Structure 1
């Protein structure tokens, strides 16, 4: 699976990464300075909770949000059980 990220303000695609494993993500985001990563204000993720620890380390000032699509999808699955 790929890791896709975009700018939430402009909705422009920033990059599509071939991997979404933590080691690969760390390698990729290490290219950005800590100062640049500290300026990220919000990050929206799917329901993949392993990302949370990564985000807290690499983007310490970012608020983490679960995207609406995956939240509604999870709620719908539970209601249909």
Structure 2
């Protein structure tokens, strides 16, 4: 119903601990909050960061370094 901690925890607490314990993986973005909620609610799960956000972060880092290097050259 929403992205707030209250909404997320309320929704998943509607499932029994036994059901949540059977979840094997949770895929999330780089938001640290989501992974901490997943660790609390799903005790036996492996947290996986989705590829899109990993590639996006790598691309931003490369672009940042490229711009820094290009600024060293005169026009």
Corresponding position of 1:49: 32
Partner Cα separation in structure 1 for residue 9 and residue 41 of structure 2: 8
- Any unmatched runs of 5+ in structure 2? 65-75
Q: Which blocks of at least 5 consecutive residues in structure 1 are unaligned?
A: 1-16
Q: How many residues align?
A: 64
Higher RCO (Cα < 8 Å, 6 or more apart): 2
Q: Greater share of helix residues, 1 or 2?
A: 2
- Larger gyration radius, structure 1 or structure 2: 2
RMSD: 0.8
Q: Name 2:13's counterpart in structure 1.
A: 30
Detail structure 1 runs of 4+ shifted over 3 Å in the superposition. Answer: none
TM-score, length of structure 1 as denominator length: 0.75
**What TM-score, normalized by structure 2, do the two folds share?**
0.81
